[in-house]
Chain A
Amino acid sequence: MDASRIKRQLKRLYVYQRYVHGSLVGGLIIALFVLVLVHTAAAVFMAPQLLLSAQAGPGFYIVTGTTGLILVFLVVFLAGAFAGDISGGGAQLFLSQPLSREAYVAAWMIAVLATPTLLYLLSFTLPLLILDPALLGAVGVTGTGLLAVEVVEVGALLSLIAVASKSRAAVVVLGLFLELLLPWVLLVPFIVLVSVPGVGQRLTWAVTAYLVLFPSKYTLFATAPTGPPLTPTQLAAAGLAVAALYAALTLLYARYRLEVK
């Protein structure tokens, strides 16, 4: 592909992602408003305790857990909207214009993965930084960062499911299952087996795989006898690599298989 063609496609990707974001702007603004409100309120009310103890207590984690859930719902909803656009007419309309299938999918992936994650991180860090940068140091970014990585992973996987199934219902059901049910179901064998003598050590690879897929559950293993098998940075890198793999598969599917009736 020559440079001018790539440039034209990038320009169209930019134009189309503006359209996609424009069509989703209402939902994104509401989500951002709620996230900023909750994070700011939490930071304001818990600031004295955070500054005194220099670490976040359970109260703050309940707040970030709740807003994390909002982020998960947002990403699942957006991935569902992506599938709905493929089956519901948006894809037919815009792929009848000089827009490549890859650019079409990439624009939606930006809206599904990058935008909500960025909004979440901004809604979390900005109130803390504005109130007192020391608050960010007290809270730490490990938990939030790993949650963001996990959401990017799930969003990329849901994008792949969206282009392959073209079904909003399938994407939403799978998304909720992947984020709300599967991590806890998979946790049960670990809880049972970790106390069995001689088995715990051999579970390392399974725990590693589990944490790469669900990095936000890192803290659950932080107090395990063997400790977590990877550092948060390693987990984030591995999680982003998995997300990149899903994204590449989605783009390849778009290139060679995505048909619009």
Chain B
Amino acid sequence: MDVIEVRGLAKRFGRVQALRDVTFAVPRGRVAGLLGPNGSGKTTTLKILVGLLRRDWGEVRVFGMDPWLLGPEVREKMGVLHEKPLYPRGARVSTLLRYAARLRGYSYSDALRVARLVGIEGLLGYTVSALSRGYLQRLGIALALLGDPELLVLDEPTANLDPLARAELLRLIKVLHRDLGVTVLVSSHIIPELADVCDYAVFISGGVTLDWGSLEELNRKYGVVSVYEVSTPRPRELARELISLDYVYGVDVHGGLLRVRVAGEASPELLNVLAEMGVDIESVRHVGGELGQLYSKVVTQEAAG
């Protein structure tokens, strides 16, 4: 089932046509990257999904509901972090967390748990005007995580975070996805970061979606290197056999785990070969690809026609 369904979405601000034709879907349990240059319509799309902006045209469904008409019902299951989170001046961190938790039917102790998770438990008595941009971002993340959401919508979540906090947030996204099955839609202009967490991508430019799908499918479609992790009790033997294949670009051995870089379009062949090799294979997992390369190819190909 698709958690997010968008068809033919259009939005205008005065004379500016922010979105012209945005169409994509995000299945449940995916970590989807929303990728596009500045001004491509990512933030507008996300705000329409949250129900803060009204669409001019098209259809939007989140959990099967229209977020403009049934915003509270949609947001009960959704956590949101805005690109530039705004807070009421003079409000205390603890007050914002307390009331946001209560609106979700949770207690202040739940809010404290989330505050500890993002490392702002020592700042609860501070007003938001006393916080650095990095801590304001963490507060935004805490507010997004309140109420154990099924869907996280994150607009440039690592902006304003130091490298350590950035890595921590990306790890948190992975944990939420892996352990709780949270669906994530995340926009970022730092593509390598997204490559590390996403298994799905939506490419948008000039208010139009260029393409979308799982990274495995997209890598195959655009001929971009895919990376698979193969778990086996005989890694060196398997590595020797795989490296001899002309569509395999590289194999790294990490204990019983192989990281295989393969031409995107040859992914099905690799899977067939692994099945036929007769070597014990415990698991095969697509772990990503060259997202930057995929992004360039999608943009170039769509621009060419």
Contacts and interface: CB of A to CB of B under 8 A. Distances in A.
Interface of A: 5, 8-9, 12, 15-16, 18-19, 22-23, 85, 88-90, 92-101, 103, 257, 259-261
A259 B50 CA distance: 11
Interface centre among B76, B89, B146 (most CB of A within 10 A): B89
A95 B100 CA distance: 10
B54 A98 contact: no
A103 B82 CA distance: 21
Contacts of A12: 72, 103
B135 interface: no
Given A90-B91, A93-B100, 16 more contacts: A12-B103, A23-B88, A23-B95, A88-B89, A89-B85, A89-B87, A89-B88, A90-B86, A93-B85, A94-B100, A96-B82, A98-B103, A100-B72, A101-B71, A260-B53, A261-B53
A93 B87 contact: yes
A96 B85 CA distance: 11
Contacts of B186: none
A88 B276 CA distance: 62
Contacts of A92: 52, 82, 85-86
A249 B133 CA distance: 38
A37 B218 CA distance: 72
A98 B95 contact: no
A93 B103 contact: no
Contact of A88 (B75, B76, B86): B86
21 contacts: A12-B103, A15-B102, A19-B99, A23-B91, A89-B85, A89-B86, A90-B91, A92-B86, A93-B86, A93-B87, A93-B100, A95-B51, A97-B103, A98-B73, A98-B75, A98-B76, A99-B75, A99-B103, A103-B72, A257-B54, A260-B52
A96 B77 CA distance: 11
Interface in B18-71: 47, 50-54, 71
Nearest to A97: B103
A107 to B, nearest CB: 11
Nearest to A11: B105
A250 B168 CA distance: 43
A203 B96 CA distance: 54
Contact of A93 (B47, B73, B143): B143
A22 B95 contact: yes
A237 B73 CA distance: 37
Contacts of B75: 96-99
A93 B51 contact: no
A9 B80 contact: no
Interface centre among B52, B72, B90 (most CB of A within 10 A): B72
Interface of B: 47, 50-54, 71-73, 75-76, 80, 82, 85-91, 95-96, 99-100, 102-104, 143, 146
B88 A261 contact: no
Which DSSP category, helix, strand, loop or mixed, fits chain A's interface?
helix
Nearest to A87: B86
B62 to A, nearest CB: 13
Per CB-CB distance, the 4 closest pairs between chain A and chain B, nearest first, are A89-B86, A90-B88, A96-B80, A98-B72
A174 to B, nearest CB: 22
Nearest to B91: A23
Contact of A100 (B50, B71, B102): B71
Given A16-B99, A19-B99, A92-B52, A261 B47 contact: yes
A98 B80 CA distance: 11
A44 to B, nearest CB: 37
Nearest to B51: A95
Contacts of B50: 96
A33 B89 CA distance: 25
B71 to A, nearest CB: 6
A95 B103 contact: no
A93 to B, nearest CB: 6
A96 B52 contact: yes
A134 B89 CA distance: 46
A5 B71 contact: no
A95 B71 contact: yes
Contacts of B102: 15
A9 B76 CA distance: 12
Contacts of B96: 93
Nearest to A103: B72
Given A22-B95, A92-B82, A95-B51, A8 B87 contact: no
A15 B54 CA distance: 25
A99 B70 CA distance: 10
B52 A15 contact: no
A95 B88 contact: no
